[in-house]
Homo-oligomer: A and B are copies of this chain.
Amino acid sequence: MSPIKVGLLGLGVVGGGTWKVLTRNAEEIARRAGRRIEVSAIAVRDVEKARKLVGDQAQVCRDGFEVVRRPDIDIVVEIIGGDTLARELVMEAIARGKHVVTANKALLAKHGNEIFAAAHQKGVMVAFEAAVAGGIPIIKAIREGLTANRIQWLAGIINGTTNFILSEMRARGLSFNEVLAEAQRLGYAEADPTFDIEGVDAAHKLTLLASLAFGVPVQFDKAHIEGISSLAREDIVHAERLGYRIKLLGFTRRRNDGIELRVHPTLVPAERLLANVEGAMNAVLVSGDMVGPTLYYGQGAGELPTASAVVADLVDVTRLQTADPEHRVPYLAFQPDALDDTPILPIEEVRSSYYLRMRVLDRPGVLADIARILADVGISIGSMIQEPHGETEADIIFLTHEAREGDIDSALQRIGALAFVHSDVTRLRMEHLI
C-alpha cells in the first residue's frame, strides 16, 4: 500500500519529536499500521534549522498554508500552538478535506465546537490524543475503551509542572517560590509559568475530558480554575499529618442537575494511587458505572511521549480513513447529534469536602462559636486539630464532610467577621476519590 502523506505545522518540541518517532520507529509503525507514514511537508519559522533535522526528505517552507494546500497531503498535524494562526490553519485544512491531528488543548478548549462541526460537515477526522496527558492514551480509553459505561466522574493530575512543584514542596519542605525558581532552572517550568501554575493548562485539558466523558459541548469558559501559586507550605504539612496529600486536580462529575468542572489544589487521601503520582508524571482516574474506577498513568509532557500520542493518532486516522464517516469514532466520544445540554454548574453549587484553616484567639468558647456557624448552614465537621501559636493564639484546622460550596462561602463570611478570628480562612477542597 502507498504511504500516508503527512504535513507537519511546526517543528518545535512536539514537532521535532514527531519527526524523530516516525523516523526511528518507521519499521515498527509500518508493521502495525500496514503502511508507511511519511512526512512530506513541514512548515516552520526557521527553515535552516529544520533542514538540519530533516535533510531533504521533506519539503520545508515558512508558510503553513502552503503545506495545508498541498493536494497530496492526507493528514495535517498542527503543533504550532496558540489559537489564532493555528485555528486558521486547522479550519483551512478541514475545508480542503484533510484529516487533522493536533496537540493543541488551548485551541480545542476554546474553539473545539466550531472545529468539530466543520470537520463533521466535511467528513474528516480531528484527533487530539496528544492534547491531554501527553503519551497516556487517555482520550482513547474514554472515547473507545469505556464506551459501555455511563461515566460518573474523573479526576486527573494533568499538569506536570504543578505536580513537580507540589511533590518537591512536600518532599523537601520548600515554599512554592523556591521550587518554582528551581523548576525554571531545570526547564520543568517556563519563563512565564502562569498558564501552568494558575491551572489554566489543566483546565483546558479537563474541559476536553469532561466533554468526552459526558457528551457535552466544550465549555472552557464555564470551568472553575484555581492554581497553586498561593498554596502555603504549612497546608501541605498539615494535610500530611491528617493523612492527605495536596495535588492540583482537574475534577469533573456528572450529577442529576449538572456537571461540576473544576481545577484546584485538592486534598487526596495519601493511600490513593493518585496521591502517589510524583514529580512531572500525570495520571487520570475515571469512574464508570459498569467498570468502576480505572486509572491511567504516564508521562504527561515532553518531546517523545507527546509525539508518541501524535503518531498513535496518525495510525488511527490512517486506519479509520476507509471506514464510512458515520462509523468513525466521534470527535467528542458521542455522536455530534447526541451531545446534550446538561449545564456546567457554577462553583457555588459544587459539592465537596473542605479543609479550613484559621488563626484564632486561644480562649474558651472560640471553637464552639465557629462550630455553631458551620452547623447553622448544615456543615458537619469530620475532624479538627488545634495547634498553639505563640502565647495567645492558635491555629485551627477543620475537615468537613461533604457540603455545598455556597454554604461554605456564607459560613466563611460569618467566621471571617468574628473578632477573635485573626487571619483569613484558608479553604481547600478535599476529594476522597472512591
Q: Which A residues contact B (CB, under 8 angstroms)? A: 1, 21, 24-25, 28-34, 129, 134-137, 140-141, 144-150, 215, 271, 273, 276-277, 283, 288-299, 304-305, 307-312, 315-316, 318-324, 326-330, 333-335, 338
Contacts and interface: CB of A to CB of B under 8 A. Distances in A.
CB-CB nearest 7 A-B residue pairs? A137-B145, A148-B311, A294-B298, A135-B291, A323-B323, A31-B338, A295-B297
A319 B323 CA distance: 8
A305 B291 contact: yes
A102 to B, nearest CB: 16
A234 to B, nearest CB: 25
A145 B132 CA distance: 13
A316 B299 CA distance: 27
A25 B330 contact: no
A294 B291 contact: no
Copies in the complex: 2
A149 to B, nearest CB: 6
Contacts of A147: 29, 32-33, 311-312, 315-316
Nearest to A273: B273
A333 B30 CA distance: 11
A327 to B, nearest CB: 5
B329 A319 contact: yes
B135 A34 contact: no
A341 to B, nearest CB: 13
B148 A29 contact: yes
Contacts of A33: 147
B148 A25 contact: yes
Contacts of A24: 289-290
B311 A319 contact: no
